[in-house]
Amino acid sequence: MSSAAEWRALIDAVEGLADGASAAMATLIRTRGSTFRHAGTRMLVHADGRVVCELSGGCPQRDIVERARVVIRDGLPLRVGYNAESGLDVLMEMGCDGELEVLIEPIERANAMAWLAPLDASLRERRPATLATWFARDGATIAPRHAVSDGTNGNAPARGTLREALAHPRPERADVIAVRNAGGHDEVLLEPVQPPHALIVIGSNATAHALLRLAGALGWQTTLVDNDPRRLDASDLPAGPATCCTEPGRLREAVAFDPQTSVVAMTHNFARDVAYLNGLEGIPLAYVGALSSRVRASRLLDELETPGWMLHAPAGLDIGANTPEEIALAIAAEILAVQRAREGGPLLATAGAVLA
């Protein structure tokens, strides 16, 4: 699926289209086996062949771009399969055993923003949303129709196929569902759209700054917290993160938290780490970690009240990290693994599809 950062780039690119200009949106609607991305991943193609949010950069992408330019020229949607029956030469060049189906639809700013605008609002306001894309009836490709629902009133369709699709439970990953009605058999891509992951780092120091830089590159929303304003004014502080000067007792009032938020404590002061971590009691969070040794981690656990979340301490995957940048990489990798419910081991030891 497209990440929140990719959605941001796609929405900005569509909103930036000139009046009368056309583009094409290529969407992976089905995948099987080892493929470069999952269903729900999108790429915008301009008339001159420029792309926003590359799908793979390889042979399939080049073929998709050429087909997208035809869609822009003709103004008609297209579905393309890459499997043993069609596109076999491209699959052989890919060097993997995956299969995929791509929907390519013409895009104009005014029409596209009708469904991208509510999706944009959900992302900005950090509300998880569900996007439904109706693309086929009785096996034939139709001009795609889209609808977004995020639990608020006014952005879901009043009736019909899209409303029935959005009445399904919110999926964990993008999937094509069948909707049957008197008019025929409809196919709808139903997908979850998550707001940007948020990372709150407590303690301003070299490792914290390295972690914030890496998180920014991943498209996460970042905040640096410290109780000393001088540490929040450090010369090597990366551009981008919000800063918040607050004591542990006022943490939950000073910073916004939600279930898509991770927190890492690294103040290099044991009592202060304990106080900040205890300030998170009862808040549902995606990940909570602390920079520490194993002995210090054991002491932290002894001091914590009943938090309702697992403390990852020492924070990070075991990659032999030593420098601030390496430690930041280990912590960010563990946060991603927890987000994706993965063990974080080597891909060599992973059974099944790498991107399953």
Rounded mean pLDDT, 13-36: 91
Mean pLDDT of 327-338: 97
Q: Is the pLDDT of residue 150 over 60?
A: yes
Share of the chain above pLDDT 90, in %: 75
Q: Supply the pLDDT for residue 356.
A: 46
The secondary structure of 55-118 as a DSSP string is S-SSHHHHHHHHHHHHHHHH---EEEEESSSSSHHHHHHHTS--EEEEEEEEEEHHHHHHHHHH
Cα distances from 99 to residues 16, 32, 351, in angstroms, run 33, 5, 18
Model confidence over 247-279: pLDDT tens digits? 999 999 999 999 999 999 999 999 999 999 999
| Helical axes 109-124 vs 4-15, angle rounded to 10° | 140
- pLDDT higher than 80, residue 92: no
What confidence category does residue 26 fall into, taking pLDDT thresholds of 50, 70 and 90?
A: very high
d(CA 210, CA 220): 14
Residue 90 has pLDDT above 60, yes or no: no
For 192-201, the pLDDT digits (tens) are 999 999 999 9
Predicted pLDDT of residue 164: 93
Angle, helix 270-278 to helix 294-303, in steps of 10 degrees: 50
Give the Cα separation of 268 and 159 in Å (integer): 56
Q: Give me the mean pLDDT over the 233-257 stretch.
A: 92
pLDDT category, 354, cuts 50, 70, 90?
low
Q: How far is 209 from 318, CA to CA, in rounded Å?
A: 20
Which of the 8 DSSP states describes residue 150? S
Give the chain's domains with CATH numbers.
Answer: 4-193 (no CATH), 198-339 (3.40.50.720)
Q: DSSP H helical segments within the chain, as ranges?
A: 4-15, 59-74, 88-94, 109-124, 161-166, 206-217, 251-254, 270-278, 294-303, 324-339
198-202 vs 221-226, strand pairing mode:
parallel
Q: Work out the mean pLDDT of the chain and round it to a whole number.
A: 90
Question: What tens digit of pLDDT does each residue of 155-191 get?
Answer: 677 679 999 999 999 999 999 999 988 778 999 999 9
